[in-house]
Chain A
Amino acid sequence: MCLAIPMEITFIEGNVAQVEIGGVKNRVRLDIIDESPVVGDFVIVHAGFALRRINREEGLETLKLFQEGLGLELNK
């Protein structure tokens, strides 16, 4: 029920965005997202609303920490 999934914004019109993931399209409202997203951003979508923009830099940072912590070569 709390399922919230990352989807990519393909179009924004006012308070509504068109989002897409793996060919599934949807319309979501932007009333409660805290940073205004732009087309191409990934947002976490729950029950018809975008909750948050996914922070790519933080994501990459987490991955880097994983890899470093494990003594792996960072190859991307």
Chain B
Amino acid sequence: MNLINEFKDPALCRHILEQIQAEARTPFRVMEVCGTHTVAIFQSGIKSLLPENLTHISGPGCPVCVTSDQEVGAFLNLAGKNLLLATFGDLMRVPGPGGHSLKAAQAEGARIQVVYSAFDALQLALSNPRDKVVFLAVGFETTAPTVAATLKIAREQSVSNFFVLSMHKLVPPALAALAADRDIQVNGLLLPGHVSAIIGVEPYSFLSREFNISGVITGFEPLDMLQSILILLRLSKQKQPKVVNNYKRVVADQGNPRALAVMQEVFIPGDALWRGLGNIPVSGLKLRKEYNQFDAWQVFDPKAPDIQMPPGCKCGQVLKGQILPHECPLFRVGCTPASPVGPCMVSTEGSCAAFFKYSL
């Protein structure tokens, strides 16, 4: 039996949908906070099958989208410093000050290489010993351990031309900020499966304990997502908020201790600035002082200009689930994936891009 296909089984999905339809008697707002969920909900067709009472909103779950203007300004500043930048492809077209982007900088002669992993960026440094290679590190707890492991290797091998600009962000503090915001009405959360594979269940327990919100750790197949929505509806009906692990085949309750240890060895939590959510205490990761020589913030001191969102872009409100993408006046008019105004339209996992692609 192929486990992957089983979790797509149409007959099972239909059964769960029927139960969701039966349970969703009153309006219910489900937020997911993972770009992969955003895309999977559209791609699988689930979005169009959900009953009207059930509103699905995408929260701040796309690392590219939540990267702040200051951070975008900072890495664009690095692009002007005669360095070799290594980045995930998603960042290439994110517009910064004046609509400038890495892609534009590249066309103007900056050396920027798209890589698939932090480790590839380290390899790039090793094969270009005369260059200073800076890896632009965005991502949540899923990605941070891969960067930490790479930095550990770089330190063990005394690599002197490899640097990391850490813009990592942590999911639970952002959820806490969202939950505390009274303007945001969310009845239940689909929690990100692969972030949870690293951090486990406990870091979310405050949701039910302090805010009476249920959260279900969810995988990415249709069956996973439907089942989790059904669990949320039932928990709400029973008025028993809880955090549930519904992705046990990948998420151990204690997470991945080895990855957490590497992350802790290399990074220390610090404040971070999120697009839409603003500054959130201890919601980011900085390099520990033992890793100072690899810290691109310290070594190159990129200017992080105090700039504003592209005029008219409502990414911030989209990321908080306050408006849906098509409620932005620029959606599809001035802002499309081919010519994006804000990062939520750039990243394939951004909710504006997902709305554009799947709800035409």
Contact = CB atoms under 8 A, between A and B. Distances in A.
A30 to B, nearest CB: 10
Interface of A: 1-4, 6, 29, 31-34, 42, 44, 46-49, 51-52, 54-56, 58-63, 66-67, 70, 72, 76
Given A48-B119, A55-B248, A32 B145 contact: yes
Interface stretch (B68-76, B251-259, B293-301, B317-325): B251-259
Interface stretch (B101-109, B192-200, B268-276, B332-340): B192-200
A21 to B, nearest CB: 9
Interface string B1-14: 10110110000100
B131 interface: no
Contacts of B197: 4, 44, 51-52
Contacts of A59: 3, 6-7, 248-249
B117 A49 contact: yes
What does DSSP make chain B's interface, helix, strand, loop or mixed? helix
Given A1-B63, A2-B140, A49-B146, A34 B1 contact: no
Which 8 residue pairs are nearest across A and B when measured between Cβ atoms?
A48-B117, A59-B249, A31-B149, A32-B259, A58-B248, A34-B258, A47-B117, A49-B146
Contacts of A44: 194, 197, 250
Nearest to B18: A70
B287 interface: no
Given A32-B262, A48-B116, A49-B146, A2 B63 contact: yes
Contacts of B62: 1
Contact of A54 (B3, B88, B149, B257): B3
Contacts of B143: 1-2, 46-47
Interface of B: 1, 3-4, 6-7, 12, 15-16, 19, 34-36, 62-64, 88, 90, 116-120, 138-140, 142-143, 145-146, 148-149, 152-153, 192, 194-195, 197-198, 223, 227, 246, 248-252, 256-259, 262, 347, 349
Contacts of B19: 70
Contacts of A32: 145-146, 148-149, 256, 258-259, 262
Contacts of B116: 47-48
A51 B279 CA distance: 29
A49 B63 contact: no
Contacts of B248: 55, 58-59, 61-62
Nearest to A22: B4
Contacts of A47: 88, 116-118, 139, 143, 146
Contact of A1 (B35, B146, B198, B262): B35
